[in-house]
Amino acid sequence: MDASQLHIPVMLERCLELLAPAIGRPGAVLVDGTLGLGGHSEAMLERFPELTLIGLDRDPEALRLAGERLARFGERFRPVHTTYDGIDSAIAELGYDAIDGALYDLGVSSMQLDLPERGFSYSKDAPLDMRMDTTAELTAERIVAEYPEAELRRIFRDYGEEKLAQRYASFIVKARAQHPITRTMQLVDVLQAATPAAISKQGHPAKRVFQALRIEVNQELAVLERAIPRAVDALNVGGRLVVMSYQSLEDRIVKRVFQARSRSTAPVGLPVELPEHRPELRLLTRGAELAGDDEKERNPRSAPVRLRAVERVRENVRGAS
């Protein structure tokens, strides 16, 4: 399996452009918090010959494939098996006090989508798995089999923004009482049976449910809530952070942290802004940037991307977030 053939890096040139002022310097260190198959990392290591790159991923298979792809860079590439909220621990364990840049390309990877046995796709029959880290215990099959109806409804509503959350949860509970739901197509059949005909024409009924299950299995939003503040805190002054989100729940978390830490915290009416009240971050993008039409045509998976970027402009005197 050739990693370079499995993955087309999203918004690659824009990421390089945004990170260049921070990571083009001698001795710079960058964390690729979502290493995946190493497409972004490979480009950065090639473009910036004095860069050291720490690659984080929870998926052992992704680490193996990316490791093969990036082996030619020797000690300049440092892989770490961890979720991306482990950025602070990974940096410290490798002997660094701070970093000059970080990149997060969120969501499910191309490899995970394209390998049927991983169970992420609602268009291919496979075990109902969805673990990004195959050493973890919780699977989508276990959630579907064991979660109470109210919990299923909650995750479909909160993580999938699914309007039929209650109906789908009810149908799943009734179906699993008749026979175990262990495969993706079994679940798809239940969801299709639960979907009114008029709504079924508006898109695949399993899309949002599968998204919700994947987020629950991998605790993606909880990890992201911890990861973004930790990444900001890890940056040197002048360091930059680029985050690409693929659905609104992720983007809201990123936007909230970036906006909060790019504003002054001075109390209203204070005649002079003290240094500790000045913004920690400078926004590098106006809102969220989208992939261009040409890229969307070449790489359909770039269509939903929302890119945001910031630069660290002062030390955090308030302590870690």
Annotated binding site for S-adenosyl-L-methionine: 38-40, 57, 84, 105, 112
β-bridge mates for residue 99, sequence order = 235
> What does DSSP say about strands 29-32 and 99-105: parallel, antiparallel, or unpaired?
parallel
What is the phi-psi region of residue 11: left when phi exceeds 0, alpha when psi lies from -120 to 50, beta otherwise? left
Cα 168 from Cα 157, distance rounded (Å): 10
Residue 162: partners with Cβ closer than 8 Å, 6 or more residues away: 156, 168, 208, 209, 212
The DSSP H or E segment spanning 236 is: strand 235-245
Cα distances from 85 to residues 18, 31, 46, 136, 197, in angstroms, run 22, 12, 26, 16, 42
Spatial contact of 10 and 302, defined as CB atoms under 8 Å apart: yes
Cα 27 from Cα 153, distance rounded (Å): 50
User: For residue 58, how far is the Cα from the chain centroid?
Assistant: 11
Question: If we measure between CA atoms, which residue out of 168, 172, 191 comes closest to residue 181?
Answer: 172
Which tokens belong to 135? 């050493």
Question: If we measure between CA atoms, which residue out of 62, 60, 32 comes closest to residue 48?
Answer: 32
Cα distances from 174 to residues 148, 169, 289, in angstroms, run 11, 9, 43
Q: Which residues are annotated as a binding site?
A: 38-40, 57, 84, 105, 112
Q: Quick check: helix, strand or coil at residue 90?
A: helix
